[in-house]
């Protein structure tokens, strides 16, 4: 269902940030974040509440402008609104970005038209079935549970086959079955060459997914753990980083 990405979309780094800072008034949400994420990687950003995880993803998704610093996605500098950048990004945030009075199918058809997706109806049908929403695809979205809406939001994010997926707490509201579907889908996307950067505050989830882990604390990137680390390494590093706060 998820095919490999076209070669033209490949470049060495999916995400590059240089001295990225973001402040809201006197509150500093991100401080001097410099990172590089290679194409095709699955990276989890881990941190306690208010660590700056959501702000980092929103800046990368072009939803929030950084105060200072540079962001490049697939080599393209993020400077205001750019259609080429929009096509690169698939976004799942705290909200579903879906219209309550429209059905999952109608919501996806709308977004598919906005992105100019080919063979839209077949692709929507396949995606919704893959995410277990096939039987409810014609019901108004507001009649679906929060977990089912989250599945539709995930379908919306990958609808235009973006090479870069930015997922902010994508497992929130999902039951065990939904979480298993998402984990399997993320693996499939990674195998197909998509880059996935997701946030979580759940150590077990970060450990289970594998891939690189970044620990964010008070808006600073304090630790980077490579994919070879064990679950115990991850727990020890997280405790060491956040120990002073608990």
Partner 1 sequence: MSYWRSVAAIVAKDVLAEARSREALSAMLLFALMVAVTFNLALELRIDNVLQIAPGLIWVAFVFAGVLGLNRSFAAEQDRACIEGLMLAPVDRSAIYIAKCISNTLFMLTAEALFLPVFSVLFRVPVGSPALWLVVFLGTVGFASAGTLFAAVAMNSRAREILLPLLLLPIVVPVLTAATRSTAQVLEGQTLAAYAPWLRLLLAFDIISVVIAVLTFEYVIEE
The site for partner 1 (CB under 8 A) is made up of: 61-65, 81, 83-84, 86-87, 89, 91, 93-102, 106, 110-111, 113-116, 140, 156
Instruction: Name which of 150 and 200 has its Cβ closer to partner 1.
Output: 150
Instruction: Name which of 81 and 246 has its Cβ closer to partner 1.
Output: 81
Instruction: Name which of 55 and 207 has its Cβ closer to partner 1.
Output: 55
Instruction: Tell me the closest approach of the beta carbon of residue 212 to partner 1, in angstroms.
Output: 25
H or E element at residue 13 = strand 13-24
- Specify the pairing of strand 13-24 against strand 68-73: antiparallel
Taking CB atoms within 8 Å and a gap of at least 24, the contacts of 66-69 are 66/20, 66/21, 66/22, 66/30, 67/21, 67/22, 67/23, 68/19, 68/20, 68/21, 69/17, 69/18, 69/19, 69/20, 69/21, 69/32, 69/33
Instruction: Name which of 166 and 206 has its Cβ closer to partner 1.
Output: 166
Q: What is the C-alpha separation between 98 and 93, in angstroms, rounded?
A: 11
Give the CA count within 13 Å in the CB-facing half-sphere of 216.
27
Instruction: Name which of 27 and 83 has its Cβ closer to partner 1.
Output: 83
Instruction: Tell me the closest approach of the beta carbon of residue 6 to partner 1, in angstroms.
Output: 17
């Amino acid at each position: 269902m998820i095919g490999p990405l076209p070669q033209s979309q490949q470049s060495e780094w999916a995400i590059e940030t240089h001295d990225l800072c973001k402040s809201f008034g006197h509150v500093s949400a991100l401080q001097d974040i410099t990172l590089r994420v290679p194409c095709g990687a699955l990276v989890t950003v881990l941190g306690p509440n208010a660590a700056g995880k959501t702000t980092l993803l929103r800046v990368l998704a072009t939803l929030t402008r950084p105060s200072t610093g540079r962001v490049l996605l697939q080599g393209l500098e993020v400077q205001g609104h750019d259609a080429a950048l929009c096509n690169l990004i698939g976004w799942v945030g705290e909200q579903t970005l879906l219209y309550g009075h429209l059905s999952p199918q109608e919501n996806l058809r709308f977004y598919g038209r906005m992105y100019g997706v080919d063979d839209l109806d077949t692709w929507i049908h396949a995606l919704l079935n893959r995410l277990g929403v096939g039987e409810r695809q014609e019901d108004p979205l507001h009649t679906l549970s929060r977990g089912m809406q989250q599945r539709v939001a995930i379908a919306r994010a990958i609808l235009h086959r973006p090479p870069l997926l930015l997922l902010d707490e994508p497992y929130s509201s999902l039951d065990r079955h939904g979480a298993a579907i998402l984990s399997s889908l993320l693996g499939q996307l990674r195998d197909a060459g998509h880059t996935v950067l997701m946030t979580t505050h759940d150590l077990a989830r970060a450990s289970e997914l594998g891939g690189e882990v970044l620990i964010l604390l008070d808006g600073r990137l304090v630790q980077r753990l490579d994919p070879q680390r064990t679950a115990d390494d991850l727990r020890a590093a997280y405790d060491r980083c956040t120990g002073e706060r608990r």
